[in-house]
Amino acid sequence: MPIPGAGNVDCRVVAGQLRQSVSSAYPLKILAPHAGPPLDDRHPAVSYLMSYGGGIVHGDRIHVNARVGSKCALVLLTQGSTKVFRPKPDTSEQTFQTIIIDVEPDALLCLLPDPVTCFKDAMYNQRQSVTLHSPTTSSLVLLDWMTSGRM
């Protein structure tokens, strides 16, 4: 049985062809549409990280592991802002979101989510860890931003 909120994205080139696999468990949903033909020796891959119901609530734990293989260019997006709703009265559970990504040599990661929107009294804890396996050929474009929701 999958762990709630767990997801995996793996893209690699096998025999000259892109192989992208994704898996996810409620409340996380990952979609991976076809991204098109290779460009400049890199195989593009796209994955969308989404949540059911338009946001995450107190106690949700989202954990995404991703791997970008050599000769791949992975773009990780969201379909809209990640809304973090306030907890129910008399609870103190935080919401957690962790993203851990390995970028192999000669690979590119573009982590470009829409903003995180925290509502009044929301308790949100975020961790992002990206390992670039080559100081010269592993590449990263990272956008991390927040907006306020209803105060």
| Cα gap 125→92, rounded to integer Å | 13
Query: Average pLDDT of 31-38?
Result: 87
The DSSP symbol for 41 reads: T
Q: How confident is the model at residue 111, as a pLDDT?
A: 98
pTM for this structure? 0.92
The residue among 150 and 11 whose pLDDT is bigger is 11
Mean per-residue pLDDT over the chain, rounded:
92
5: left (phi over 0), alpha (psi -120 to 50) or beta: left
| DSSP codes of every residue in 59-119 | T-EEEEEEEE-TTEEEEEEESS-EEEPPPPTT----EEEEEEEEE-TTEEEEEEPPPEEEP
Query: Average pLDDT of 21-33?
Result: 96
Decide if pLDDT at 40 tops 80: no
pLDDT, one tens digit per residue, over 134-149 is: 999 999 999 999 888 7
Q: How confident is the model at residue 92, as a pLDDT?
A: 77
pLDDT, one tens digit per residue, over 47-105 is: 999 998 878 988 899 999 999 999 999 999 998 899 998 888 888 788 999 999 999 99
Q: How confident is the model at residue 54, as a pLDDT?
A: 77
pLDDT, one tens digit per residue, over 80-94 is: 899 998 888 888 788
* Cα Rg of the chain (Å, integer): 16
The residue among 151 and 150 whose pLDDT is bigger is 150
